[in-house]
Structure 1
């Protein structure tokens, strides 16, 4: 490598490293101090399905800011009923461990029993305690004003019911005789990843429920983020969050403006989708206003919030029903809500499986590759081995295209001397040069794009396989090699030197990116040995700059992805070595034949 090449690579790495160092040094998030207090709660007798355990009571750092709730201003309301218990408690089904908070009648934790993180049930609510708990209610559509009154609760088999009474504030700033009761009920299926929330209001007087704030009665929210927890954007697990909306049988990705999206049209459902899990909100037939919000805070990356705002009531009583799917992105758990006989709620034709995050135009190819991966896993119950076998099969399928590409490239290389002569001869006449080169290609029956076009067939497979290996649910927690690659959905690590953290690579030394980078450099060298030489800065950057760049880009890629690319590289290297040997053998035979002909010619002259 010459001085300019080295300088270009070093400067690129230095600029990125300095930028990240400045960000982590001077703009690091402040530590969050959380006080905890151990409390206990008792459950009334007869609540067989539920278990109540000792839980932490975390002081809430948010407070009401508007005049709708807990205020002395006219039109607001205050809690008038008492509450017997304020401690958090847990409720379990076959699939959920739910921690309820009577303060706000909300959910502070929701864990999935059958899916683990570090041996513990995975948490579906990413909240550090500085935000309202999930499924809180807001007065009107003021998203800064959670109703954090303390509710009474009782557990009755598959239901957890919260109740509280509120009193309206009159024009003189004093409580009036008008009261309303709020009943918020959670209903669970025994083995469903879907549950139901009903919100019921009853006015003490025979007139409309007195909740009307700019045309809205209340808002039900899921916030601030869908779990599992992560702390960078993007993190080492290539984490993301996406919004989807289902309307009139069509799934769409809403376009957020300034981090928000709002619609008052009827929707079937809305979803937050991540790599492996989804939250899907399914309202009833009321014309709610749906608001989606995203943002990036210091402690909750990629905030993803869903708000259902209910229009003001026109009657003395009102009852709304919402359903939420919170679980894995697996079709077998989502499609059961298309048939009323297959789920515990008698629901049908919801088509929640549309929330599966698949490639839009290559979903069919991704499904084929997934079937192959599962097939090989059935033969050898190791997903690492299955990925290698799928890679080999893909390489065999692409062999005719790869061979044609190499042959076309070899023909182009053979014309190198003639092309250089034409460039020297017509260096001052580009039009004539192009014409002569076209005639040369035509005479030698060579398509200049012959080396590139076959490669286009590989791109759809590459994109579909990238999508599959990046989010295939069964790879989550799947081990390949004990002690090294223990989770194919995560980057591997051979050395961890935390708490020390280096720019670009963090606190881990990873072997797969190193092997991948070395295989890229070796592949370029083998190609050059086969005659595919590139001179100057371009050739040197391709040989050294590209592998270094991809080393950092893919350093935190999931192990399954890097395993595929590395195996593909090694197979290509073996193929290129074979082609080089074959070419040299053919060239040696040709030279031997030419030498023999020359000797025969000389003999005849004698």
Structure 2
């Protein structure tokens, strides 16, 4: 088989493998030894899989209030509405306004009858913003306080209170003016006659969802994770039961991280904090913040403050949140946006995409403009590749003669081929090398378009593509894309023989059409427009250089 054909097939396989490696990468298994979240010392119990965060002996000395009949209260802003319950003094529902939920029964299509709900746990034992204590009055792993009473509420706040082990615990939820942000304030008052040591833990939960079965040609599955940022290190778990991480001492935030949305907890009044993220045995994602141990004298009180971010992963909203243990300034919630190794390219691309959107008001058109801009920036490399492929195509008759003459002597044939390239100053890899240089940009564009919430439910053409983050519902664009790729193959000069050229001409468009069927339509739109621009460029180049397009790119005689 001709070497360039083999190289082309190899490149396709490499692209597919890189795609699998970078965009469907599973969460890594946990390390063997994990530092203790409260002391920073390694413990033998953590050398293997530890007990769940909620495990531990319940001390008899802790008096708890009996569970009271449920009472709920809604708090609402222009950005979200949150339902609070006295069962755990926690979050029961949290709906993000202006964002619709996906209907998994319809393959993930937007359901315009339901708002996006960031609390989908279905179990009172796993409600977000639940507090517990690693240490309380000298006891380890005290039980979760119960018997909360809703003592007062208004349009911007709600206060819950309970008695627990000789102390009064008050928990206040307060809205803020910052988009998608509210505050949780937990106050512990020591009503006893002895000093009280307490170390509070606040937990967020998410339901572990099974990986969707989309087949080998489906879009990469969006895995929801339990995540924690300590310093500059983001750790996430979200695949296997029993996976966990523990980090300290400068935890900026911990939360439940989805593809387009984030539910995060930010400690704001401590110098040090630890976090633990895990996949529990009952299929829940759990994310805990453990604050520094405090000593409360008789009659004294301590207050713990946390910020809760619940909203889309828009960079300007994420960067507006300040806090984190021992930190001033940004809590770096933007670290939840996973651009991977291509971040250095993705951020300017996203900035440019949003700039175009500000001009035209349609993200589909903005993607078209971005595609044109990238095409112009890569024009010198593309031109060089075309020139090299044209020069190589001109040698095809001489290459065929060499094959006839030395067909039985592979070593001699290779030597003569190299002499031919050297004589005519043609690099057989010259057409491929510029394409390889462009691949990081293509992968970065893929990652940016796939990870950006800006495309979530963003329409392009009403009645056809109403959500650029979802596949083309009628598969029109992937099929047309396959046709344009077929046309592009015909226009591209080639040194391969007729049979090999036909195989590539028909097989590659079909292969990529199947790949594109279930990819986000915003990404397919980029590839489609890029293909049209490439066809126009190739036709113009062929006309300027005397290459005929109707004969598999052979050089026309003059």
**If the TM-score is normalised by the length of the shorter chain, which range does it land in?**
0.7 to 0.9
The yes-or-no answer on 1:385 pairing with 2:365 is yes
Match of 1:259 in 2: 243
Write the deviation string for residues 186-211 of structure 1: whole angstroms up to 9, x where unpaired: 22214442222222333432224377
Distance 1:203 1:241 in 2: 39
Write the deviation string for residues 196-254 of structure 1: whole angstroms up to 9, x where unpaired: 2222333432224377xxxxx5531100159xx99737796953445654444x34445
Distance 2:329 2:396 in 1: 64
Look up the SS of the partner of 1:457 in the other structure. Answer: helix
Offset at residue 185 of structure 1 (A) = 1.8
Look up the SS of the partner of 1:207 in the other structure. Answer: coil
Distance 1:513 1:296 in 2: 41
2:254 pairs with one of 270, 273, 276:
270
Distance 1:570 1:278, change over 3 A: same
Match of 1:565 in 2: 527
Match of 2:201 in 1: 219
Match of 1:416 in 2: 396
Alignment of 1:105-504 (within 5 A): 105-117=89-101, 118=112, 121-129=115-123, 132-138=126-132, 140=134, 147-155=145-153, 158-167=156-165, 179-209=166-196, 217-225=199-207, 232=212, 239-241=222-224, 245-248=228-231, 250-253=232-235, 259-283=243-267, 284-285=269-270, 287-294=272-279, 304-310=285-291, 314-316=295-297, 317-337=301-321, 349-352=329-332, 354-355=334-335, 357=337, 359-360=339-340, 362-423=342-403, 425-426=405-406, 430-494=410-474
The yes-or-no answer on 1:523 pairing with 2:488 is yes
2:64 pairs with one of 78, 81, 84:
78
The yes-or-no answer on 1:550 pairing with 2:533 is no
Query: Structure 2 unaligned runs (5+)?
Result: 1-52, 102-111
Distance 1:286 1:365 in 2: 34
Distance 1:130 1:423, change over 3 A: farther
Distance 2:357 2:163 in 1: 57
Distance 1:238 1:479, change over 3 A: farther
Look up the SS of the partner of 1:268 in the other structure. Answer: strand
Distance 1:539 1:106 in 2: 64
Distance 1:588 1:293 in 2: 60
Distance 1:67 1:357 in 2: 35
Distance 1:122 1:143, change over 3 A: farther
Q: Is the 8 A contact 2:132 2:145 kept in 1?
A: yes
Instruction: State the TM-score, normalizing by the size of structure 1.
Output: 0.67
Q: Is the 8 A contact 2:85 2:92 kept in 1?
A: yes
Look up the SS of the partner of 1:285 in the other structure. Answer: coil
Offset at residue 532 of structure 1 (A) = 5.1
Distance 1:566 1:144 in 2: 59
Distance 1:111 1:542, change over 3 A: same
Offset at residue 310 of structure 1 (A) = 4.8
Distance 1:144 1:233 in 2: 41
Offset at residue 109 of structure 1 (A) = 0.9
Distance 2:444 2:126 in 1: 39
Instruction: Pick 1 or 2: higher relative contact order, CA cutoff 8 A, min separation 6.
Output: 2
Match of 1:8 in 2: none
Match of 1:7 in 2: none
Offset at residue 485 of structure 1 (A) = 0.8
Look up the SS of the partner of 1:584 in the other structure. Answer: coil
Distance 2:464 2:142 in 1: 46
Offset at residue 468 of structure 1 (A) = 2.7
Aligned Cα root-mean-square deviation (Å):
4.0
Distance 1:401 1:66, change over 3 A: closer
Q: Is the 8 A contact 1:107 1:133 kept in 2?
A: yes
